[in-house]
Every structure is written in structure tokens, then in C-alpha cells.
Chain A
Amino acid sequence: MKVEVVNVFNIKLTQEYIDSSITFVLRKSSLATNILFKALNESIAEIPKDHDLLVATGTGEIKNKIIYADNFKHQDKVISPTLFSKTLESNIAGQLGVLLKSNYVNFYFNEAASIEMALMNSFFRIKKHKNSIFILSYDYLDFDGIPEYPFIKNSPYQFSFGLNVIEIKQLETKKECIKIERFNYNYIHGLNLNKIISFLKSENIFNAFFDNVLIANNKFTSLNKVLESLQISYNTIEEYKNKCGEYPTSISYAIATAFNKIKSKKYRKILVLSILNNNISYIVMKS
């Protein structure tokens, strides 16, 4: 199936922005919800009625969960319903759905492939309901006091709050637009070089023409060998690990970047590739 990427937004958030979002919407909302809603309000001119909202994250409400879990070290502490509510990841999407009047909301929370899961879901939804789909991906970690948290310690990235919005809808054939030509993703048990190559070959990435390759995530040290095997010219690769500090929002950041590059007519066909913790995904975008 082919879909059109209507628009993408990459929202860079400063600490002041985050601070000013704390009381923006609802006192009981999580900080993530407040920031997301504020950013959406300020960034998207119009959210159509009957839209679908798919929210993808790798970090969820981890900070609230840590605070909440910490309460169990102090058995006498009465648990507050507000704090409990803030630990429920699905509430982030639910709250946004309430605020934006979405008629379908789904939420994906996975360390690696949450955006791909949302993208797959969006294709099903478009086929069935022909709605506009907003994929909202965010990652938020506040590191105060938890610098040793494994996601931070083991990551090469600079963490912060990252937010990307991708609006997609069904392709209107005669219109000049930016398409997601195809995409797929896989969890591969015991991921290794041969298995990566085998997957990408089976997906016809082998020897395909791309005039730009964006590596959204790469924790696989032999990536060059993968690209050599696939005969993809990798002098076009742009490493994003230091540019987009948000993990794993970097995939949606790469989609946004590919969108803008194709829109500016700098490139015609771009491969977005991600290899992270046994997960591999690719997205082919073209004009």
C-alpha cells in the first residue's frame, strides 16, 4: 500500500519550554501530555475532525514509574491516585485523544520499534477508514537523580525531550507528494550480520537504488559490512546519533528529515534504516 506523508514536524524543545508546559493543560496531566499538547497546539494549524492518533514512545512515563515504584520502599506511604494515573502509559495517548477529540487512539511503547508499530497500524486504519492519521512520537527522560539508569548509561545519545509528528493519509494519485513506498520491520532473535543481510535481501533492499540513506539507529557495529553486502553506496549515509538526541524518536526524526530532503528536491528516494536491540526496520520514501 502507498500512502502520502502530508506533513512532518520536528519540534525542538528547550528546558524553558518544558518548564512552561508544566501547568499548561490539566493539573493532573502528566508532564509529557502537557508538553505534547502544547507543542501540537502551537505547531499544527488544523487537526481535522475524525482523525486517528497513534502515539509511539520508547520511554513512556518511566520517570513517574520510578517515583511510584520508589514509594514501595516506604510501605507506610499512601499512594496518591494522581501519581498512579500518571504512571499509566496508555493515559498519555488517552489524554491527548480527549484533548484533541481523536476518534481512534492507539499507543505503542517499546524500546526500539514503537514508531514502526504505529506506522503499520496507520496503514490498516487508512485502508479501513480513510482517515487522516497523526503519528506522534516522543521520548522524554528527566535525568535528575537517575544518571545511572541503563537507558542512559548504555546509550551513545544525548537524551532530552524529543517530539515528532507525522501526518499521513491515503495517496491521491495525481498529486505530487511524498510517499512511503514501502516499509517493514522485524525482531530477530540472535541478531547477527547474516541475519540482517538475509532480512534486507528478502525485502528487496539488495542492490536497490537510493540516493540517500539515513541511519536512524545503529547499535550494530558492522553496519558498513551490511551496506557493502547490499551494494548500497554508503558515502551517502548520514549518522544521526549525535544530531537527533532522542532515542528512539530518532526514527521519526529520520522520517521527518527524509521528508524535508525530498520536498526540497535534493533527493528522490531515501532509505531510512534502523538496527537496534534485535530490531531491524527500513522505510523507503520517495517523491
Chain B
Amino acid sequence: MSNKYIYIAGKGFTCSIGNNPNELIEFVKSKSGIIFSEEYKSKKNDKPLCLGEISDTYDKFDSLIKSTIDEAINNEIENDRINNYSGKNRSALIIASTSYATKLYEQKVKSEETDRIEDLNYIHPYFFNNLICDYLKFSGLLVNNQNACASSGYSISYGYDLLKNDIVDRVIIIGIDFLCESSIYGFESMGLLDYELVKPYDKNRNGTNLGEGCGVLIIKQYDSKALKNSLIEIKATEQYNDGYHMTSISPDSIGLNKVINELLKVCDSTEIDLVVTHGTGTSNNDLTEGNALKKCFKEKNIDFTSFKSAMAHTLGASSILDVILSVICMENNFIIPTFRFNEPIKEHGLTPVNKCKEKEIRNVITLSSGMGGYTSGILLSK
């Protein structure tokens, strides 16, 4: 295992709160990106659903993805800024999603453009892989990660391991999910959607709001001299499967405890300035995650927040967007607050950061959990 350090060398994002890091802070000071949708209505009560939408058609979103990828690559730290880049130039591309291009299939079905069985290919990852690989003219190590809502967290971890083990020199991680009927009405059928704006960590939370988005990270391995560039380091990653239930995480938070405690072996809890929680606003997640925070950080009054209240839950893209927004918070010493919080959950009594807050942020833990028991944590450090 290499002793070198893994840094974020490039990033790009598109979600309901924008795609420009310079405008993001001002945006979240005044509003969240979740709206009452004109396109999607509840199948149960016919009311407009609260969603973090970006675009109404697949084509528009497709071009947004490409511009997000371009943004990350164009802003990538150049090799010559880092002396010890090995120069083997082997890259890995990791793609994480839960729905891939299902939206495209649904669009075609709706417009009655298709009865062609070939169009079912849109719901298979290979269609989407080829789309991205063709766009990038990519050759290298290609990986798909599917771990439900923790998909892009697992992908960052996979990329981290590829670099640490000297398999490749550069990893591009793309986390992406489109809003599509399959996901929206699937979540609604499971009773997981809030028909009002999502209220993570609130006593009266009633479910999540779904959103769409794309996050692109380029990570590389450097020696310690690169620290002078003030890049954000991925210091550690950890995953665990709690093996409890298919659609909920263990109420005693076994998986989250394990993940957080492993990360705290690398960085003491007193040095963690912010935890970006999965914070979906569902009954199970916020209770369990809060219990884990309380157990692992003990008496320390840790600052934590949930970005889902600002951009909605972007499923397979949520972990990577959490990491990217965390990096922006670290760069600006600013905490994006948890919107619409009023009253703590009785069982753990935790209050998230619910107003814009400026403070020095050196170390951040981001957490994500997914159906199937997947739990992932990433430790970022300045």
C-alpha cells in the first residue's frame, strides 16, 4: 500500500442548487433548490411532488452531464503543478447510478415513439457506460458501482483503493441520477416521500424529496509536497454492510458506528469540524444516523448538516455531491445549513446546523447509506 496522499484534483457538479461553486454559497443563503414540480404529481393524491429538478428532458440533462464532466476536466490540477506525478497516465473511470438512462426509456414510451425491444437497452448500465466512454474517448479501467444511494460513496472508495494500490494514476468518478417515474413512484409506493418540503432531522419529518444531479470528481495520488497547493485530501474511506433489512438500516446503527469509528481512528473526533450526514428526512435514516453520531462523538457537540434539504436526495449521485459540496464548504469556511429544521427528534435530541454558519473547516466526514444495508463514510481533510 502506497504512503502517498489522495487529493481531489478536479470537480464539477450539477444539481438543483446550481452548478457554479462561486454562486453556490450565495444561493443557499437565501433558498433551497427544491420546488413543487409541474411535471410529476403524486399517484396517491394527485398533488405536485416536491423535487429537486434540473431539466425536463433527457437530452437537456445529457448535455448538462457533459458540461459537468468538462468542467471537472478543464479545472483539473495540471500534472506539472505536482512534481511527483508518476506519469504512467493510466486512468480509471467509475460510474455510479441507480437509474442510468431509464428516463430516456420512459420518455420514449410516453411519446409512443417506441415499442422496440431494443430501447430496453436504456435501462441497462452498458448503454450509459458506452455513452460516457464515447464522449471521453476513454480507454482504461472502467468500473460500475451499484450500491443504491451509497453508490457514489462506494465509487470514491474504490477509486481511493485503486490509487493507494498503484493500479492507476488518475481516477474520474461520475455519480449521476435522473429523476424518472420508476424511482419517484417506486419511492412513493414505499411511503418514503414527503409531500411537503423535506425536513431532515426534524421531529416532524415525513420522508424525503427526490432530486437529480451529477457530480464528477477527479482524484490523484501525490506525495506530501502537494500539500502546499492547499488541495483537499481524501484521508480515509470506510464501508460496512449492516445486514439488517432490505430497505432500512439497523436501528442500533451498527454499520454507521463501525464506519464512523474507523474514520475516527485516522482523525480524532476533536478535530472533526463537520459531519455531512445522509440526512434523507425519512423516519428510519435520521433516527439511526443521529444515534450513531451521538454514540461515536459522545460528549462532543459536533456540527452536522444535511444537504438533502437544499438539493433533495439525488440517489446514486448523492454521496459524490455531498463530497463536492463539502469541499466547497471547506474552501469557503462555510456550512450549508439544514433547511426547515424546527424541533429535534426526541430519541437523540440532536440539532443540526440550521442557519448559515461561517467557521474554519479542516476535517469533514460525509456519510451515506443505501437500501440493501450499504453504509459508506469518507474523511476529507484540508
Contacts and interface: CB of A to CB of B under 8 A. Distances in A.
A115 to B, nearest CB: 12
Given A85-B246, A103-B240, A187-B139, A90 B189 contact: no
B288 to A, nearest CB: 16
B246 A95 contact: yes
Contact of A278 (B1, B133, B185, B188): B133
Given A106-B154, A109-B146, A90 B372 contact: yes
In the A-B complex, the 4 residue pairs with the closest CB atoms: A94-B372, A84-B186, A187-B142, A111-B126
A141 to B, nearest CB: 12
A98 B373 contact: yes
A88 B371 contact: yes
Contact of A105 (B133, B185, B372): B372
B297 interface: no
Interface residues of A, number: 63
A109 B370 CA distance: 16
28 contacts: A62-B123, A65-B123, A68-B182, A72-B110, A79-B185, A81-B186, A84-B186, A85-B371, A88-B148, A90-B98, A90-B371, A91-B371, A91-B372, A97-B372, A100-B243, A102-B241, A103-B240, A103-B241, A104-B241, A108-B146, A110-B125, A110-B126, A124-B158, A148-B117, A150-B117, A150-B118, A187-B138, A189-B139
B144 A146 contact: no
Given A112-B126, A113-B142, A114-B144, 7 more contacts: A81-B190, A91-B372, A93-B372, A110-B144, A185-B141, A189-B138, A277-B126
A127 B165 contact: yes
B105 interface: yes
Interface of A: 1, 28, 60, 62, 65-66, 68-69, 72-73, 78-81, 84-85, 87-91, 93-95, 97-98, 100-114, 117, 120-121, 123-124, 127-128, 146, 148-151, 185-190, 195, 277-279
Contacts of A89: 146
B102 interface: yes
A85 B142 CA distance: 27
Contacts of B106: 69, 72
B310 to A, nearest CB: 25
B141 A187 contact: yes
A89 B125 CA distance: 11
Given A69-B105, A81-B189, A91-B372, A188 B139 contact: yes
B132 to A, nearest CB: 10
B205 to A, nearest CB: 20
Contact of A91 (B126, B148, B167): B148
A146 B158 CA distance: 35
A24 B338 CA distance: 44
B251 interface: no
B120 A66 contact: yes
Nearest to B105: A69
Contact of B109 (A72, A88, A101, A108): A72
B137 interface: yes
Contacts of A101: 243
Contact of A279 (B98, B142, B373, B374): B142
Q: Which of B133, B146, B247 has the most CB of A within 10 A?
A: B146
B181 A72 contact: yes
B314 interface: no
Nearest to A75: B110
B198 to A, nearest CB: 20
A84 B184 CA distance: 10
Contacts of B117: 146, 148-150
Nearest to A98: B243
A69 B123 contact: yes
B322 to A, nearest CB: 18
Contacts of B141: 120, 185-187
